[in-house]
Structure 1
Amino acid sequence: MKPKPVEPGAPLAAIELDLDALQKDGKPIRNDFCDGHRLHLDRPLPFLCVYLGSQQNAAYHIATASASYLIAADIGLARAVVRLVAQRMRERCGAFLVIDFGELAEDRFLTDDVPFLRPFEIALGSGETAPEKAALKCFATAASEREAKYRTPRVGDLGSAPSGEARLWDDLGNVAWLAVRFAPIYKVAGTERIYPALRDRVVANMVDTALQAVSAFLKASKLKPPATHRSLGRRAYVDAVTRADRSIDEVASAFDFLLAVTPINAEQAWQEFQAGDFERAPKLYYRPLEFEIAAEKRKLYSISLDHLEDPLLSGLLSEKQQELDLQLSLLATRETSRFVELGRALYGNVEPALAARARHILEKTVGAAPTVQQKGLGAEAVAAAARDMIAGYRAAYPDFEASVEIRADLPAGLLVSRNRLFVSRDTSLAPERLTALLSHEIGVHLLTYFNGDMQGLSILRSGLAGYEGMQEGLAVLAEYLVGGMTAARLRLLAARVVACQAMLGGATFEEVFRILHEDHGLEEHIDFNIVLRVFRGGGLAKDAIYLRGVLQVLDHLKNGGSLTPFWIGKISAAHFGAIEELRARGLLRPPRLEPAFLSSDAARPRLKKAMAGIDPIDMVEA
């Protein structure tokens, strides 16, 4: 049904007041007026994306993913709003471009015989000025270089595209414009069904391409373009993002996955295994779960990600939602044969290249395996040193409220859970390893928790999906930078990879123990602790991520990459580009803290060496 014309007087008066507040106080505009109309500007910007219509199709989602957009059902009111916003933003920014997004009536190039290989249609039009033509040319070039599920665009002239629609730009006066119409390739032909993943890709591609076009428009207008077109994206979260982020964090906070799969009887299990001449796997016991898995899954998937208006953030939250689902599924299968396969889905296989690097390290470090420490730093001494290091960070950042707890239900060593550091009662640590271990746990794991906590997105403190590999890689690098990377420590990380590969290949607990002891000559108690970690919960390949992670970090440094983005929160290597975009858009602050070890005189030459390019074996100094 054709919408009734809307009297523009009252909405325009309210928008005038909103624009006054935006220009005076920087207050964002999010004005829902009339039925199906919305103006959103999160700051003064030299462009406005417009969608005319009432359907929430891909064109609608492209517009609403912008930092500056108008959704309107009435074309007359839309023109009035565009002219008003253009006048104000041109005064503020020096130039202004309206980008009108819409969909073509059909996917003309689609045929039944090859439904995913034909090109798809994009039709463009613009005004006649040089900046408008520059925007059109840039959009056409950038769009032509993208593909969407094996289909590449064929960009043409909007004048040749069948339309019949009322045209926004026909009565805009001197407002510069760019019109974009694209084939609805995300729709299942002849139905109302869609391909959601394909729609999301179309939206993300179009949004990024539009920002490139705005950057070209500014340059052609003799204005300074942004350092990166992505800085023209959103700088404010809509309420839906905040709600979804907090809800996902509530589920993430309801359980500690690693604690839940860590045996509580490690020392008794060692004694049992030793008493049986290492021939029978010991019985392992775990903490009872303090929550109902099905209830947490219902909470997790009751979180809607439909109205976030930001494809990047929507993707990050969706990935975290899926990772939490997989962790909950793992806990539901704890101590069953299904656990190992779900663990494989979470942490992946041990790739042949990684296994080869691990075996190379074991060959080069033969004889470096230490004997069991008869006298070392106990739990109380380690906990005291940890509290001292935490106090140093708290002096620089009062909100660094980390606690240290000594527990008897953990295997020997340390473990970080959110803002808590757990020290096993059975810990016996060589004094020369103390600084390295605390730099690992506090200088990386706790620091990125608190840095992430101040960013405004909870998932940056609890961790983006797949963050653990990069976290452990950075933590191992920290050990090297403080001079604590020994041959024995590197040998341990390599042995974990070999053990994970054997476990995933079907070897039993006792078989993996023999592989480590007989083939690689590790000490019996060390072998046992490695195998215990690998078989926790029923078989978990997490421990391969330490060596994999440090290889990723060293490769990143060798290629000129900075470590700074990784201190912002808990992120993976795969999210480096996303974090850079969020930084460019002003959605992320610089990290409040950087690891103390980075500024030490001992760390600087080692970091310089790592940036020049080294192998993990080159990190060994003792």
Structure 2
Amino acid sequence: MTRTHHRDRDRPAVYPEWLEEILGCIRADKPVRKDFEHGGRLHIDRPLPFLSLFLIRGRQDIAARDVAAANASYLIANNLEEALPIVAAVGGVLKERFGAFMLLDVDELEHDTLLTDDSPYLPPFEIRIAATGEPAAEEAETALAEGVDIRQVKFRTPHVERFALETDFQATALARKTGFSLVAVRFAPIYRQPESGKIYPDLRERLIANIFDAGLRAFAAFVAATQTLKITTHRALGRKAFVDAVSRADRSIDEVAASFDFLLAVTPINADAAWQEFKAGNFKRAPRFLYRPLSVQVEVEKRKLFSVAFDRFEDPVLYHLYREKQQELDLQLSLITARETSRFVEYSRALYGPVEATLHRSAAEILAKTAKAAHDGDDGEAGNEIADCRDVEIAARAMIVSYQRQYEGFTAEIELRDDLPPGLLVSDGRLLISRTTRVPASRVDALLSHEIGVHLLTYFNGSAQGLRLFRSGLAGYEGMQEGLAVFSEYMAGGMTIARLRLVAARVVACAAMLEGRPFAETYDMLVGEHGFGPATAFNVALRLYRGGGLAKDAIYLRGLMELLDHLKAGGALDPFWMGKISASHFRVMQELSLRGLLKMPVIRPAFLVHPHAQARLDKARAGMTPLDMVTS
């Protein structure tokens, strides 16, 4: 690339044309992404009073490069000669705009001196920091030290040590020749094996994420000390735009996710015939379930899945989200391949987890305390008017139209199906209604609030985000999604004792299935011990034993309890409407929203404006159990 030498400060600057164009973009608030020879790059997604810097110096696969590149504003240069004119020019424009400017110089120590291959224990690892003498730079240095000092990276704690800036040639040259405030950080390459140089990938990513976060804390301290920006959290200084590599990976991951319908693949197509077979056998022999032929070539999709490149994301948060999703899709593909084998239930346990003791106790308590109110038959109350599949379809179309008035992109479709057990199922943007569905008319609005007001709403809100991941769902989203969906039934005024008992029954039956109890024994438990009618007990057992043992149904009560805890702790609901997310992603969604990478929901659930919704939400925030939904 063209190089310029550091100018005499008394003469006006003369920059090459490409650099003048960059400065023009910065002045006009336009993003900058300029590649240089040998892997260099200047990236500025918006003007900020700082720049992160890494000098390549002929090295490859250095974690410090990725730490620098994770920032919203960074320069990767080959050497000092290349970096200095760019830093001086860009920093000058930004300092003129903000009144202050800081450089974060990121690099690695040559060796992890405290560890050897045969070390019998894991010692601390070195992080060395220094700063120029201005008060704001010293504030940033302190924030950086505190930020890394509270972090533990795979069982090794950082040992932070300050060093004199003049002992580091690179940092000294940058500070003296630009005149900008500077903080330097040098960390031990703990992600490499000391002798062989081989890399620990997971440790490398943890280290990058932790040093990056500490760097953001340093920038936040600097802007606070100089009063250049007003921010609510250091994470707000992260990127407000994702790079093309993220968009490409997002499309590739979505193509794999769309290549198969997980729930349809493991749901029997002969539910009614299986029920008749089970009755004919006097409820003693497990029926034979039939399934749709798999329409996906699992090996092909797995190859596609693991060919997706995440190494150019330049964003540790998004990197982590996509790696999680990749692993979940791999597990789902393995699960459907193992359909009707003994391996299926173990994959299922890995995907959805076991039934925890506290969850089992809560479910058992619900069943015990509502035993007197138990009713035979499907989810209903004796004497209620019954709605069939056509009634549900008409009500569903009306609800979809009401959401389309809010957002024309709410293009949900409805299908009546002969190949599903009684009930409703959402598949991407479609609502599937079994023709054998029969529910109390008083429950229809609550049922549709569950399927349309949560599952379809988050699908289309997720579609409105810049990334498809938020419509297909972040890894592990189903638990909170089903918890929200059950809560929506309560908010819509349709939570009944029968419905809550059904949710609890799924948990105790799931525990029985995971313990290895056969289909007929679990059915007998539901009928004999808990008072469920034959058809209801059969449908609960069918859902749990489908495919070979699917542990999904425990997530409804688990997710509801997680949501109630979240609300009691003062948590908000709005981030959950942005897309399909789990409770563990709540803070991530808040951060991405603060950074401008996510939009607020384009549609909000209709049940939130139900006449009694606010009073019900207030009760939940005050603290309630699932039982309180039907007893208070």
Same fold, TM exceeding 0.5? yes
Partner of 1:57: 62
Letter in 2 for 1:477: F
Partner of 1:22: 26
Letter in 1 for 2:74: Y
Letter in 2 for 1:562: A
Name the stretch that deviates more: 32-41 or 129-138.
32-41
SS across alignment from 1:429 = strand
Within the candidate set 244, 247, 256, 1:251 is matched to: 256
- Shift of residue 34 of structure 1? 3.1
**1:605 has 2:594 as partner:** no
> In the alignment, is the contact (CA less than 8 A) between 2:377 and 2:534 conserved in 1?
no
Partner of 2:506: 496
> In the alignment, is the contact (CA less than 8 A) between 1:513 and 1:527 conserved in 2?
yes
CA distance in 2, matches of 1:299, 1:424: 33
Within the candidate set 526, 546, 568, 1:536 is matched to: 546
Partner of 1:337: 342
> In the alignment, is the contact (CA less than 8 A) between 1:5 and 1:74 conserved in 2?
no
Partner of 1:297: 302
Partner of 2:145: 140
Task: Summarize deviations over 1:444-465 as a string: whole Å, max 9, x none.
Answer: 0000000000111101000000
- Shift of residue 116 of structure 1? 5.1
Partner of 2:108: 103
CA distance in 2, matches of 1:166, 1:617: 62
Task: Summarize deviations over 1:393-419 as a string: whole Å, max 9, x none.
Answer: 001101100001100000000000010
**1:594 has 2:604 as partner:** yes
Against the structure 1 CA distance between its residues 401 and 168, is the aligned structure 2 distance closer, same or farther, given a 3 Å change threshold? farther
Task: Summarize deviations over 1:263-285 as a string: whole Å, max 9, x none.
Answer: 00001100100111111000000
Within the candidate set 443, 448, 452, 1:442 is matched to: 452
Letter in 2 for 1:21: C
CA distance in 1, matches of 2:244, 2:121: 37
**1:552 has 2:555 as partner:** no
> In the alignment, is the contact (CA less than 8 A) between 1:12 and 1:81 conserved in 2?
no
CA distance in 2, matches of 1:407, 1:111: 63
Against the structure 1 CA distance between its residues 316 and 12, is the aligned structure 2 distance closer, same or farther, given a 3 Å change threshold? farther
Within the candidate set 273, 281, 296, 2:278 is matched to: 273
CA distance in 2, matches of 1:164, 1:171: 10
SS across alignment from 2:240 = coil
Within the candidate set 587, 593, 596, 1:583 is matched to: 593
Letter in 2 for 1:449: Y
Partner of 2:181: 176
SS across alignment from 1:71 = strand
Letter in 2 for 1:39: L
CA distance in 2, matches of 1:43, 1:87: 15
CA distance in 1, matches of 2:99, 2:346: 58
Partner of 2:526: 516
- Shift of residue 372 of structure 1? 2.6
Letter in 1 for 2:23: L
> In the alignment, is the contact (CA less than 8 A) between 2:130 and 2:165 conserved in 1?
no
- Shift of residue 7 of structure 1? 5.2
Written as runs of structure 1 = structure 2, the 5 A alignment for 1:40-439 is 40-53=43-56, 54=58, 55-111=60-116, 114=119, 117-159=122-164, 167-372=172-377, 376-439=386-449
> In the alignment, is the contact (CA less than 8 A) between 2:474 and 2:580 conserved in 1?
yes
> In the alignment, is the contact (CA less than 8 A) between 1:107 and 1:184 conserved in 2?
yes
Against the structure 1 CA distance between its residues 617 and 17, is the aligned structure 2 distance closer, same or farther, given a 3 Å change threshold? same
- Shift of residue 18 of structure 1? 2.1
Letter in 2 for 1:611: R
Unaligned segments of structure 2, at least 5 residues? 7-13
Letter in 1 for 2:24: D
**1:13 has 2:17 as partner:** yes
Partner of 2:11: none
CA distance in 2, matches of 1:89, 1:381: 63
Task: Summarize deviations over 1:455-498 as a string: whole Å, max 9, x none.
Answer: 11101000000000000000000000111111110000000000
SS across alignment from 1:35 = helix
Task: Summarize deviations over 1:141-179 as a string: whole Å, max 9, x none.
Answer: 221111111111111123399867675425433211111
- Shift of residue 185 of structure 1? 0.8
Letter in 1 for 2:232: A
Letter in 1 for 2:339: R
SS across alignment from 1:357 = helix
Partner of 2:536: 526
Letter in 2 for 1:117: L
Letter in 2 for 1:403: E
Letter in 2 for 1:169: L
CA distance in 2, matches of 1:332, 1:73: 48
CA distance in 2, matches of 1:246, 1:293: 18
Task: Summarize deviations over 1:410-438 as a string: whole Å, max 9, x none.
Answer: 00000000100000000111101001000
- Shift of residue 92 of structure 1? 2.1
Letter in 2 for 1:362: L
Task: Summarize deviations over 1:93-129 as a string: whole Å, max 9, x none.
Answer: 2321100000001112224564652111111111111
Against the structure 1 CA distance between its residues 159 and 22, is the aligned structure 2 distance closer, same or farther, given a 3 Å change threshold? closer
- Shift of residue 253 of structure 1? 0.6
Q: Give the number of equivalent residue pairs.
A: 618
- Shift of residue 90 of structure 1? 1.3
> In the alignment, is the contact (CA less than 8 A) between 1:460 and 1:571 conserved in 2?
yes
Letter in 2 for 1:475: A
Partner of 1:37: 40
Partner of 2:488: 478
Unaligned segments of structure 1, at least 5 residues? none
Name the stretch that deviates more: 309-318 or 136-145.
136-145
CA distance in 2, matches of 1:315, 1:353: 29
SS across alignment from 1:172 = helix
Query: Percent identity among equivalent residues?
Result: 53
- Shift of residue 600 of structure 1? 2.0
Against the structure 1 CA distance between its residues 140 and 515, is the aligned structure 2 distance closer, same or farther, given a 3 Å change threshold? same
CA distance in 1, matches of 2:72, 2:438: 54
> In the alignment, is the contact (CA less than 8 A) between 2:165 and 2:171 conserved in 1?
no
RMSD between aligned residues: 1.9
Provide the TM-score with structure 2 as the length reference: 0.95
- Shift of residue 218 of structure 1? 1.5
CA distance in 1, matches of 2:97, 2:389: 61
> In the alignment, is the contact (CA less than 8 A) between 2:376 and 2:532 conserved in 1?
no
SS across alignment from 1:88 = helix
CA distance in 2, matches of 1:240, 1:442: 33
> In the alignment, is the contact (CA less than 8 A) between 2:426 and 2:455 conserved in 1?
yes
> In the alignment, is the contact (CA less than 8 A) between 1:19 and 1:29 conserved in 2?
no
> In the alignment, is the contact (CA less than 8 A) between 2:109 and 2:187 conserved in 1?
yes
- Shift of residue 520 of structure 1? 1.1
CA distance in 2, matches of 1:535, 1:8: 72
**1:452 has 2:462 as partner:** yes
CA distance in 1, matches of 2:375, 2:16: 76
